[in-house]
């Protein structure tokens, strides 16, 4: 238990030597900044959350920064060092000359001196900052962008650097030339999309996989009901006296991955924490392995006849 009787979230040690809490709180939200900051502060102060996950795209960096400042000021944590903050490089900045400036802009919005983790949001780039229309997409300069990420690390602006939405094939390409290897690959992963091939490549190379949409993002425009409406998970949950979400998150934890769950409901935020002191049975796990597999966040927005990715197969290197 941490101070105040809140639960301590287990950590995983990244290849940089830094500890990352395995459960992160996602902040992609349309809530007002004040409301979001208050929810985050509650999660830190009363529930024990220590990992806050944001992105330039989300428009929530200021709210996250306000919550971090409030948490330190109010004594909910002893110092900034007690919190783990992740943000991400958007595709409009995924060009070699824009990586370091983009991170500096994120830090200014957050009011922080450094990020704990900075991720390349997608292996996609725009020719110039714009509205993200497909016509502006250009070939993603993986090596050039990664050299920029390494510079962020060298300058101390990001303690660890990594990627998001990279296929197993793209991870292998990146690892072949990376001087500073990626610490994390944050990808869609849940009982309905287990990412076995990708996890194998990452495990062999000391890269931690973090799952976004661990509950399937039901209700979002691309979300899936494969998790929250799964009959298998309902059966397991009923048998164990747990919620469907708790079973889904516990399964991820037992796979050895991190996960970023988003909720703004205080009761569900608490429930998402209550997964570390029990285990699934072999029967539970065998039932879960029968759940059909389908990628939900397929990135079809980035596919275009004139762009670098002309099909979903190209974007995901056939891993669909």
**5 within a domain of the structure (yes/no):** no
Residue whose pair of structure tokens reads 């830090």 in the numeric block: 107
Which of 49, 58, 114, 309 is the catalytic position?
58
CA distance to 178, 187, 302, 319, per residue, from 298 (Å): 26, 11, 9, 10
**1 within a domain of the structure (yes/no):** no
> What pLDDT band is residue 3 in, cutting at 50, 70 and 90?
very low
Average pLDDT value for residue range 221-247 = 89
Cβ–Cβ under 8 Å, residues 292 and 246:
no
**3 within a domain of the structure (yes/no):** no
Residue 189's domain spans which residues? 11-316
Q: Is the pLDDT of residue 223 over 50?
A: yes
CATH number at residue 36: 3.20.20.100
Q: What is the pLDDT of residue 137?
A: 83
Q: What is the pLDDT of residue 208?
A: 98
Q: Is the pLDDT of residue 70 over 90?
A: yes
**85 within a domain of the structure (yes/no):** yes
**6 within a domain of the structure (yes/no):** no
pTM passes above 0.85: yes
The structure tokens listed for 2 are: 């941490």
Q: What is the pLDDT of residue 88?
A: 98
Q: Is 114 a catalytic residue?
A: no
Terminal alpha carbon distance of the chain: 41
Average pLDDT value for residue range 243-259 = 96
Q: What is the pLDDT of residue 4?
A: 45
> What pLDDT band is residue 2 in, cutting at 50, 70 and 90?
very low
121 is annotated as contributing to ligand binding: yes
**2 within a domain of the structure (yes/no):** no
How many domains in the chain? Answer: 1
Name the least confident of 1-5, 57-61, 97-101.
1-5
Q: Is the pLDDT of residue 152 over 90?
A: yes
Q: What is the pLDDT of residue 32?
A: 85
Q: What is the pLDDT of residues 104-139, one digit of tens each?
A: 999 999 999 999 999 999 999 998 755 555 457 889
Q: Between these two residues, 142 and 305, which has the higher pLDDT value?
A: 142
> What pLDDT band is residue 216 in, cutting at 50, 70 and 90?
confident
**30 within a domain of the structure (yes/no):** yes
Q: How far apart are CA 151 and CA 161, in angstroms?
A: 10
Q: What is the pLDDT of residue 264?
A: 85
Beta-carbon count within 10 A of 1 CB: 8
**26 within a domain of the structure (yes/no):** yes
């Amino acid at each position: 238990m941490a101070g105040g009787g809140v639960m301590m979230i287990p950590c995983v040690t990244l290849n940089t030597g830094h500890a990352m809490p395995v459960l992160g709180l996602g902040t992609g939200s349309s809530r007002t900044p004040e409301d979001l900051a208050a929810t985050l502060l509650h999660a830190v102060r009363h529930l024990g959350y220590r990992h806050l996950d944001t992105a330039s795209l989300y428009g929530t960096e200021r709210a996250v920064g306000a919550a971090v400042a409030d948490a330190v000021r109010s004594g909910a944590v002893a110092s900034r060092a007690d919190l783990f903050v992740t943000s991400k490089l958007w595709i409009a900045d995924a060009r070699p000359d824009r990586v370091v400036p983009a991170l500096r802009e994120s830090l200014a919005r957050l009011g922080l001196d450094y990020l704990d983790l900075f991720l390349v949001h997608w292996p996609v780039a725009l020719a110039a900052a714009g509205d993200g229309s497909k016509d502006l997409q250009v070939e993603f300069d993986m090596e050039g962008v990664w050299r920029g990420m390494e510079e962020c690390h060298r300058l101390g602006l990001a303690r660890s650097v990594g990627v998001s939405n990279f296929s197993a094939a793209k991870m292998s390409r990146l690892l072949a030339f990376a001087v500073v290897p990626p610490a994390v690959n944050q990808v869609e992963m849940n009982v309905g999309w287990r990412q076995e091939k990708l996890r194998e490549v990452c495990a062999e190379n000391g890269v931690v996989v973090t799952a976004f949409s661990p509950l399937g993002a039901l209700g979002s425009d691309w979300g899936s009901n494969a998790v929250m409406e799964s009959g298998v998970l309902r059966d397991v949950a009923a048998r164990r006296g747990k919620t469907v979400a708790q079973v889904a998150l516990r399964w991820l934890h037992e796979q050895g991955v991190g996960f970023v769950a988003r909720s703004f409901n205080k009761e569900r935020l608490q429930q998402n924490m209550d997964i570390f002191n029990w285990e699934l049975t072999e029967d539970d796990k065998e039932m879960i392995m029968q759940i059909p597999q389908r990628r939900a966040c397929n990135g079809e927005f980035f596919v275009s006849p004139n762009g670098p990715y002309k099909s979903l197969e190209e974007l995901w290197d056939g891993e669909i």
